[in-house]
Structure 1
Amino acid sequence: MQEKIKEIADRVRELRELSEISVEKMAEYLQVSTETYEKYESGTEDISASILFEIAHRLQVDMATLLTGEEPRMNIFTVTRNGKGVSVERRKQYRYQNLAEKFIHKKAEFFIVTVEPKPQGTKPDTNSHPGQEFNYVLEGSLKVYIHNNEIILNEGDSIYFDSNYEHAMEALEGESAKFLAAIL
């Protein structure tokens, strides 16, 4: 996983430099400190999917370009076979599988996200990002933390929310949970 993080970090740095955007301007755009952003580009700190989504937007590239190093080419349709999406362990608490990385100029990003259970009493780290997000629970149960609320979702339940607000997901009952996420 560390090698993959370094590859993504290198692509981000190279594209930022080619776009003639300073580290300071990118950090300001992402609303993180310059030090944190420099850790992203050095590969010493993992970049969350939501931050990666924003970096791609700022650099005017598809998120798949940052994840895989390849430009998406499909413009009519793309098919992702079961279990064949680009898998990325972006954060320790979540595993993402991109479901449409080959489609160019997407208006949203689609992922299957797996959340592993954490030790009891441990609250997950929150994140936020511009836009909106839709999550549909495929397996297991989740506790969703958003804007001072805790919502329990079970298989078949969904939530749509303003992702500018701090949010996180926690797998319940000691079992992993899986959900479909659409980030708009």
Structure 2
Amino acid sequence: MDKVMEEIGLRIKGLREACDVTCEDMAAELEVPLETYKKWEETGADVPISAIYHMARHFGVEFTEILTGTAAKLNTYHVVRNGEGMEVDRNPEYHFEDLAWRYTGKVMQPLLVVLDPTDKPAKLVTHTGQEFNLVTEGCVIVSWGTKEFELHPGDSIYFNPEVPHGQRCAGDKPAKFVTIIAE
């Protein structure tokens, strides 16, 4: 068995498991028989380039990261614009086994936050776990470390809240976002 191809199969399996996706779901999404998909994970043999590209997009990693196993940790931030394209900040010190897609420990119930334009900017805070915000109305500025993101309805951000962060309203109308925190 080709060692390089076998490692690609192991990376695909590791990403799928880290993202809590079943073999059955991935095979259905790729429109291939389940046994074919399982063979790809077991041996890495005969995986079409198009399938690797599709899996890379699905798992939020670069195509080359599936091929080489380099730097695929979402340990910083992941912004999705209105359910479409995403922007990811990666830390090159980590590899795919450390993907931070899976919430662990206690997960808080979703909380609706309303921000008024007259509010003072939020004090930057830190906490453990992961945080997800989805803007439902208005414009929210998320400060994260030294970065700022302007988010509009439908935009979301998923980030490591051990970095100082806060949210504030942008514009002259109240803004709302739903937040979920896992600790």
Relative to the length of structure 2, the TM-score reads 0.38
Return the index of the structure with the highest Cα Rg.
2
Greater relative contact order, per chain length (Cα 8 Å cut-off, separation 6+): 2
Relative to the length of structure 1, the TM-score reads 0.38
